[in-house]
């Protein structure tokens, strides 16, 4: 149980393109979803916390207009990287929890490469 699906797993696109990443909880309702960015051989850096039906809470230094997060239902959150540039290339990971203080269930991650 507690499966989180993240799609796509890998995307390569041109600079200036907007890219949408989906995070779905397949067998449970996730009240909270998290979006992380992970650089090679480094830890996960929290980008934002997304609660269903409300605006995402962004971490300091993360541009809200650059990384648009939508959590329209209890099973789906999306991260849109707008007007992506090469410096946005990274590994993006989502996670979901049934309740805030429960362990997170992670998606497989999305490798984003901007040319």
Partner 1 sequence: AQTVTQSQPEMSVQEAETVTLSCTYDTSESNYYLFWYKQPPSRQMILVIRQEAYKQQNATENRFSVNFQKAAKSFSLKISDSQLGDTAMYFCAFMILNTGGFKTIFGAGTRLFVKA
- Member of 23, 25, 107, 114 binding partner 1 (CB under 8 A): 107
Compute the chain's Rg from CA coordinates. Answer: 13
Mark 9-38 with x for binding to partner 1 (rule: CB under 8 A) and - for no binding. -----------------------x-x----
CA-based nearest residue to 62, from 43, 82, 42, 40: 82
- HSE-up (13 A, CA, CB side) for residue 88: 26
Mark 74-93 with x for binding to partner 1 (rule: CB under 8 A) and - for no binding. -----------------x-x
What are the tokens at 108? 């497989």
Per CB under 8 A, does 101 bind partner 1?
yes
- The DSSP call for residue 87 is G
Residues at the contact surface with partner 1, assessed by CB under 8 A: 32, 34, 42-44, 46, 49, 51, 57, 91, 93, 95, 97, 100-101, 103-109
């Amino acid at each position: 149980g507690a499966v989180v699906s993240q799609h796509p797993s890998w995307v390569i696109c041109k600079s200036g393109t907007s890219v949408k990443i989906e995070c779905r909880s397949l067998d449970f309702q996730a009240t909270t979803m998290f979006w992380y960015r992970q650089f090679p051989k480094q830890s996960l850096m929290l980008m934002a916390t997304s609660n269903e039906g409300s605006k995402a809470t962004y971490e300091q230094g993360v541009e809200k207009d650059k990384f648009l997060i939508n959590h329209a239902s209890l099973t789906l959150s999306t991260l849109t990287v707008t007007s992506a540039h090469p410096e946005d290339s990274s590994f993006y990971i989502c996670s979901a929890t049934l309740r805030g203080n429960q362990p997170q269930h992670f998606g497989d991650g999305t490798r984003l490469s901007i040319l």
